[in-house]
Structure 1
Amino acid sequence: MSDIEHTSTGKEARRTTPGRPWTPQEEPRQDALGRYLAAVAAAASARSAQEPEVAPGGEVPQRPVTAAPEPSAGQPAVLRVRDVMQVPAASVPGDMPFLDVAHTLAREQVSAVPVVDADDHVIGVVSESDLLAKAAVMAEPHRHGPVGRMWQRRLYEKSHGDTAATLMTFPPVTVHPAQRVTDAAWTAAHARLKRLPVTDYRGRLVGVVSRRDLLRALIRDDAEIRAEAESLIGRHLLDPHAVQVAVDNGVVTMTGRLDKAVVPELLASVRDIDDVADVVDDIEAI
């Protein structure tokens, strides 16, 4: 990702950060979030470039989901949803009572679960928000004040349900196991969802993927970045031990003594490594 993308993402994060002191863990978390958003933005840009043209009737032709092609020799493998999804995935039947759904969320320690029919097709998703609305109606059956907007009225009416099927949000937003992780990340960001059911081509539940799973897949940890940087240095220099590499939250610091003629090219090559946020040049040019 380019320095421009990282800079703009960082500025946006600072604008939206609450006016309170950061904890020691906050800055690395904000940096990881910024890198995640940059990856999602790159995926969105690629998607828009590949969007099919709208037909004269106003309909956009749908592309069928097919098995992912195998990478050719010399090309890096593309991460797919199947590589990062959680299996098995917790789910609830449509006729499960409200209290049992609440117990399931608590037991599984998740914020939402897919609702499935008798054939394991995903028909919706029931979340803590749905249950919270139900609990509010149970505590105060009659609302005060005028009727709100349409979505508020729908939420209020839905919250009178007693089963997962009557409380759930539908239609569900799902992803396919063969989809790229970047596309699934775009889907999660666009729909503002923390968890996405993963379904096969018949709509049956095969797993679930969370934003945390996608984040970990999109952003490599510092150890992986350091290993690639050291490998790259080994290909550039006769003596790979002439330069030492340290990585902290995607920032690569390079120290050592080198011929000044090779320093600019080496720094540029390290800066081009995926998920490198910045390169600190502490090399003594000789």
Structure 2
Amino acid sequence: MSDRERSSVEKEARRGTPGRARTPQEKPRQDALGRYLAAVATAASERSDAEEPETAPGTAHPGPPRAASAPGTSEEEPAALRVRDVMQVPAVAVPGDMPFVDVAHTLAREQVGSVPVVDAADHVIGVVSESDLLAKAAVMAEPRRHGAVGRLWQHRLYEKGHGDTAATLMTFPPVTVHPAERVADAAWTAARARLKRLPVTDYHGRIVGVVTRRDLLRALIRDDAEIRAEVESLVGRHLLDPRAVGITVENGVVTVTGRVDRAVVSELVASLRDIDDVVGVVDDTEAV
């Protein structure tokens, strides 16, 4: 991952951080998002220089991904999670000729912020979102704006605001992923394009599912209970009496308490920091 790309990811993360004080409900979400971005950055940095250039946000998926390495090769781990392992099927999609009002009803009924738009052969031709519908609603509410700002505003919304169907309101070309892609690569695509939902298409561009940022998040990082289980297993290998220490895990941060030999604790803490998805270790132990 280049310094420029890392800086871009960090800037996007700061933009998404609320300017007001976080509520108790917001902090876990922000912590999880931070862990997600860290996982995406790690996945991106591990990419081989021989891979094809990434698709820029707002462009269509370039086509079938490279074939996975044969079993026994070291290029890629055979057990890597794929999009097909986490995607949602069947995917909700709307036809290009669906009227504006019906698209709005579909988004409300499915409780989603966007849906793929497909043609008669189920090829994904675009994505229509709440933002697209808001442009239509804004023009309907006030079709004419006066002054320089009003003209600029109207110019930007003209294409979407005067559409009446999913095809005329949608954003295109769509950003899509393939079922055989690694979850880490799909997460990088979603992060760069700033999308919460990605249509999943086959080699011919036909929709086969949808994968959300939450699906990718759950696949990329383990929850605290899973991390705690590995921590307790590791503690059991370092200490003769694992009950001598207390372990808590919250949002990926491991806290160790108890009375333990200082030399043993130092080695234990170093090992805990190497566990995947552990974002920090707090040593609250007392030396004996």
TM-score of the pair, normalised by structure 1: 0.82
Contact persistence 2:64–2:178 (CA under 8 A): no
Retained in 2: the 8 A contact 1:188–1:211? Answer: yes
Q: Is the Cα contact below 8 Å between 2:177 and 2:199 reproduced in 1?
A: yes
Q: Please report the RMSD computed on the Cα atoms of aligned residues, expressed in angstroms.
A: 2.9
Show the counterpart of 2:167.
165
In 1: Cα distance, 2:261 partner to 2:30 partner: 37
- Aligned AA for 1:183? D
C-alpha deviations, 1:135-178, integer Å up to 9, x for none? 222223334334438xx736412321211111111110001111
Q: Please, which of 181, 188, 191 is the counterpart of residue 190 of structure 2?
A: 188
- Give 1:30's aligned amino acid: Q
TM-superposed deviation, 1:281:
1.3
Aligned to 1:86: 88
Letter in 2 for 1:36: Y
Partner Cα distance (1:15, 1:140) in 2:
30
- What's the offset of the Cα at 1:52? 5.0
d(CA) in 1 for partners of 2:259, 2:33? 34
- Cα contact 2:99–2:164 (8 A) shared by 1: yes
Give the AA of the match of 1:120: D
5 Å matches for 1:21-32?
21-32=21-32
Match of 1:142 among 144, 148, 157: 144
Cα 1:128–1:87 change in 2 (3 A) is same
What's 2:117 paired with? 115
Aligned AA for 1:110? V
1:206-245 superposed matches below 5 A? 206-245=208-247
Q: CA, structure 1 residues 14+102, in 2 after alignment: closer, same or farther (shift >3 Å)? A: closer
Q: Is the 8 A contact 1:13 1:30 kept in 2?
A: no
Q: 2:263 aligns to what SS in structure 1?
A: coil
Q: Deviations over 1:49-75 (max 9, x none)?
A: 45458xxxxxxxx784145458769x7
Matched AA of 2:287: A
For the residue of structure 2 that corresponds to 1:262, the secondary structure is helix
**Distance in 2, Cα, partners of 1:52 & 1:121:** 24
The DSSP-based 3-state class of the residue aligned with 1:31 is: helix
**The residue matched to 2:46 in structure 1 has which SS?**
helix
Kindly report which structure 2 residues correspond to 1:72-83, keeping only aligned pairs within 5 A, or say none: 77-83=79-85
Q: How far did residue 193 of structure 1 move?
A: 1.2
Which of these residues, 243, 260, 279, is aligned with residue 258 of structure 1? 260
**Distance in 2 (alpha carbons) for counterparts of 1:131 and 1:272:** 46
Gaps of 5+ in 1: 1-8, 54-61
1:45 shift after superposition:
2.4
Once the two structures are TM-superposed, the CA of residue 189 in structure 1 deviates from its matched residue by: 1.4
How many residue pairs get matched? 267
The one-letter code matched in structure 1 to 2:249 is V
Q: What corresponds to 2:272 in structure 1?
A: 270
> Using the alignment, how far apart are the partners of 2:89 and 2:63 within structure 1?
26
- Residue 135 of structure 2 corresponds to 133
Q: Quote how far apart the aligned CAs of 1:93 are.
A: 0.7
> Residue deviations 1:65-119, cap 9 Å, x none?
145458769x793222112211111000111111111111111111110011111
Whether contact under 8 Å (1:71, 1:78) holds in the other structure is: no
User: Can you list the C-alpha shifts for 1:209-256, whole angstroms capped at 9, x where unaligned?
Assistant: 111222222221110110011112223334333333111111111123
Kindly indicate whether the alpha-carbon contact (under 8 Å) linking 1:92 and 1:115 is maintained by their aligned counterparts in 2.
yes
Give the AA of the match of 1:220: R
Show the 5 A alignment for 1:44-63. Answer: 44-47=44-47, 49-51=49-51
2:107 touches 2:113 (CA, 8 Å); kept in 1? yes
Instruction: State the alpha-carbon separation in 2 of the partners of residues 63 and 105 from structure 1.
Output: 28
State the 1:269 CA deviation: 0.7
